[in-house]
Structure 1
Amino acid sequence: MHRGRVVFGAMDEVVFGRPAREAIVEQLDRLGAERAFLMVSGTLNRETDEIEKVRAALGPRCVGTFDKMPAHTPRAAVIAAAEQARGAKADLIVTIGGGSITDGAKAVQLCLANNVTTSDGIETIRTHGGVSPAMHPPTVRQISVPTTIAGGEFSSIAGVTNEAKRQKEMLRHPLVMPRATILDPELSVHTPEWLFLSTGIRAVDHCVEGICSREAHPYGDAQALKGLEMLATGLPRVKANPKDISARMDCQIGTWLSTGPLASGVPMGASHGIGYVLGAEFDVPHGYTSCVMLPAVMRWNKRDNADRQALVAAAMGHAGADAGDVLDRFIRDLGMPRSLQEVRVGPEHFDRIATQAMRTPWVPRNPRKIDDPSQVREILEMAA
């Protein structure tokens, strides 16, 4: 018998397949916002006219632009953005860019609401042992226009890197989820190929770990299986023709669906847990961590969840095949890295990674029980 609880997030709507600049103006009208603060990709702002088009559409309702958010959302950049948003008296944050920017704006919302003005101040709003401290809810909310496809815009969790400790820390509040997400595939054409495709594998990882979880349920399965099918056909089409807008749209919708399990309480597993450590400690891009770890995690877990893994292979169009092999080949064919060596992580680091991974929220909930770091090390050796 299934048991569980599905909590609907604080997002009002998802708009897809329309130009972002039109949809953003409609959202401001809907929300009665007058002072929109843009947090955007530096590349989009400096090397294309896309952000300028949005500013023009907003006119005097745009009160500032922040375009200096590095990968992995470091604390210092969050504070700088919050400072600028505070000075601009923003009443809404609009993000246009990748996951680091989306997460950055989530953190900025909490900084504004709780008067956090220094990097150390972030200590007071981050989760400790998975539990969020008591804090004021955000009143300046956000809308998001993602240009990568890792899916962070559909969650109420932000990862922020503590530069001093080189650790990714979580901030969590139901209201940091964007009030609306706008999926405009045209904007993603500017995203570097490696970034679009690798974040697509991140979305695949959300689907796969959701489907393979011990705590999977039909509501999460329905979304993850359909999302996986759309990503499995869409990503190779984008690789073959970067101007295929309908393939990009499929990838964006597949990504939205990929967040179904996590949003409905299904935990991720060791691929996500180990990925957190590789990102924070070794600066491995988010998507690459999934490219390298997911097939190894699947092979290690197969002893305990072969039935669920069969669903993965079937959704990817290879019924009856080994899911680890299907994923391995799929990731390789997209030209993504497939080993820790390729992302410059050597065996001398495995003990440290294994110890750190045990402290993440997901490794303890991996479908095949992981009781100590030596088991994480076995997975790392398979991915070496």
Structure 2
Amino acid sequence: MLSGIHGHQDIERVVYGKAAGSAVLTEAKRLEAGRVFVTTSKSVAQSALLGDIVHALGGRHVGTYAGVTAHSPRPCVIEGARLAHEAKADLIVAVGGGSVIDATKVMLIALWQKATRIEDLDAFRAGRPEEGAAPPSQAINPPPEAIRMIAVPTTLSAAEFNAYAGITDLRYGIKESFGHRLIVPQVIVLDPAATLATPMDLMLSTGLKAVDHAVERLCSQQAHPFVIGTASEALKLLAKALPGHRAKPDDMETRLDLQFGMWLSIGAGTSGVGVGASHGIGHVLGAACHVPHGHTSCVMLPPVLRWNLAVNADRQKRVSEALGRPDLPAADLVGALVETLGLPRRLADVGVGKDRFREIAEKSMHDRAVLNNPRPIKEPAQVVEILELAA
């Protein structure tokens, strides 16, 4: 009999279908925030979106850090936290994709714990999760009035919907997890117009990351009715909306469907059902090989499904059913979706050769998602087998 614990996030509101600028101002007022600091990336900083949010905030806006780069490196976390502290911020608004949102989550930890050097973050890395719990560091002790954040996502990575953050330690070329229940945004603003300046490749590939969220949880041996319901509906929405978005990028209803599909895809993350090797190996591909976040799912999810088929064929059938073709293997259907969207399908397409396989495999063995894979992975050689399928 299945057993487990379903948690609930410390998200107060999800605001959807409303203009980001006015929504952020409304929420800042509701939260009684008078000094709002904005974090973003260089590309988003040049968009009309950021200008609208800053203009709407007016005198409440006390500064912007636009230096967050891909895969959320530790130096960005420390620099952003320093500037937010100097601005005496009482609320942070993260505007951007998963890298911006994850970096901002750990900026909160740095502010709470007065971490001012990249080495200071060592004490707050997440450990192994206890049963039914997120894996926060026991060292994190937020102050009574801990500064929180609002997220305005511009991609479909879904980073805003969980209390974890993947942060790259450039010293070792690895991505590490940080977690605490209060680093999840208080408010999430899903404005379809916030994605208008997002390049098509980034939108589609992070949409594949959302597919990955749903597929790996649907295929988990711990999947239960809540997971099956949310993940299946996510796949139905995403499988229709992703090609629809590519065909008609001006359709705002389709963009909102993508955001709903992304939201549903990550919904099971609170249920104690984790992801597997596609995510875990993808973390290493990003940190060590600089493969974009969404592209890691494009190249890894189909081969991971093939490698796992011997132990979870019945669960993979759920994926095929959700994608409308129960007669075909899930790996083939996901691979066909990647191809339809014009995204990379092989490791060679993202510049990763076989000479990196051993390094990737060894680093992957430290990732909890790899250790959570439905077909147990006990040694680097098994990761190499998966990488060979993806070559």
- TM-score using structure 2 length: 0.96
1:288 to 255, 271, 295: 295
Letter in 1 for 2:48: D
Cα distance in 2 for residues equivalent to 1:364 and 1:141: 31
Cα distance in 1 for residues equivalent to 2:115 and 2:376: 39
The offset of 1:40, in angstroms, is: 1.9
| 1:84 correspondence with 2:94 | no
Give per-residue Cα distances to partners, 1:165-210, cap 9 Å, x unaligned.
Answer: 1111111101000001010011101001111110100000000000
Q: Look up the SS of the partner of 2:368 in the other structure.
A: coil
Q: Report if the CA contact (8 A) 1:124-1:133 is conserved.
A: no
Give per-residue Cα distances to partners, 1:223-267, cap 9 Å, x unaligned.
Answer: 111111111111001111111111111111111111122221101
What is the root-mean-square deviation of aligned Cα atoms in Å? 1.1
The offset of 1:357, in angstroms, is: 1.0
Q: Match for residue 109 of structure 2?
A: 110
1:377 to 365, 384, 387: 384
Q: Look up the SS of the partner of 1:336 in the other structure.
A: coil
| 1:300 correspondence with 2:307 | yes
Q: Match for residue 7 of structure 2?
A: 7
> Where do residues 261-340 of structure 1 align in structure 2 (5 Å cutoff)?
261-340=268-347
Letter in 2 for 1:118: R
Q: Look up the SS of the partner of 2:157 in the other structure.
A: coil
Letter in 2 for 1:134: A
The offset of 1:2, in angstroms, is: 2.1
Cα distance in 2 for residues equivalent to 1:326 and 1:50: 35
> Where do residues 111-130 of structure 1 align in structure 2 (5 Å cutoff)?
111-129=110-128
Structure 2: gaps (5+ residues): 130-134
Q: Report if the CA contact (8 A) 2:174-2:363 is conserved.
A: no
Cα distance in 2 for residues equivalent to 1:382 and 1:202: 19
| 1:230 correspondence with 2:229 | no
Q: Match for residue 53 of structure 2?
A: 54
Cα distance in 1 for residues equivalent to 2:48 and 2:252: 19
Q: Look up the SS of the partner of 1:362 in the other structure.
A: helix
Q: Which moved more, 1:83-92 or 1:134-143?
A: 134-143
Give per-residue Cα distances to partners, 1:268-325, cap 9 Å, x unaligned.
Answer: 0110111011011000011000000000001111111111111101111212211100
Q: Match for residue 132 of structure 2?
A: none
Aligned residues: 383
Q: Match for residue 41 of structure 2?
A: 41
Q: Report if the CA contact (8 A) 1:17-1:183 is conserved.
A: yes
Q: Match for residue 135 of structure 1?
A: 140
How high is the sequence identity, in percent, across the aligned residues?
A: 44
Q: Match for residue 96 of structure 2?
A: 97
The offset of 1:134, in angstroms, is: 1.6
The offset of 1:54, in angstroms, is: 1.3
The offset of 1:83, in angstroms, is: 0.7
Q: Report if the CA contact (8 A) 1:4-1:217 is conserved.
A: no
Letter in 2 for 1:85: A
Q: Match for residue 159 of structure 1?
A: 166
Cα distance in 2 for residues equivalent to 1:129 and 1:7: 17
Letter in 2 for 1:29: K
Cα distance in 2 for residues equivalent to 1:370 and 1:111: 34
Letter in 2 for 1:7: G
| 1:195 correspondence with 2:202 | yes
Cα distance in 2 for residues equivalent to 1:205 and 1:249: 19
The offset of 1:129, in angstroms, is: 5.0
Cα distance in 1 for residues equivalent to 2:284 and 2:54: 37
Letter in 1 for 2:138: P
Q: Look up the SS of the partner of 1:137 in the other structure.
A: coil
The offset of 1:41, in angstroms, is: 3.0
Cα distance in 2 for residues equivalent to 1:31 and 1:187: 22
Cα distance in 1 for residues equivalent to 2:13 and 2:272: 20
Cα distance in 1 for residues equivalent to 2:81 and 2:141: 16
The offset of 1:128, in angstroms, is: 4.1
Letter in 2 for 1:33: A
Q: Report if the CA contact (8 A) 1:36-1:93 is conserved.
A: yes
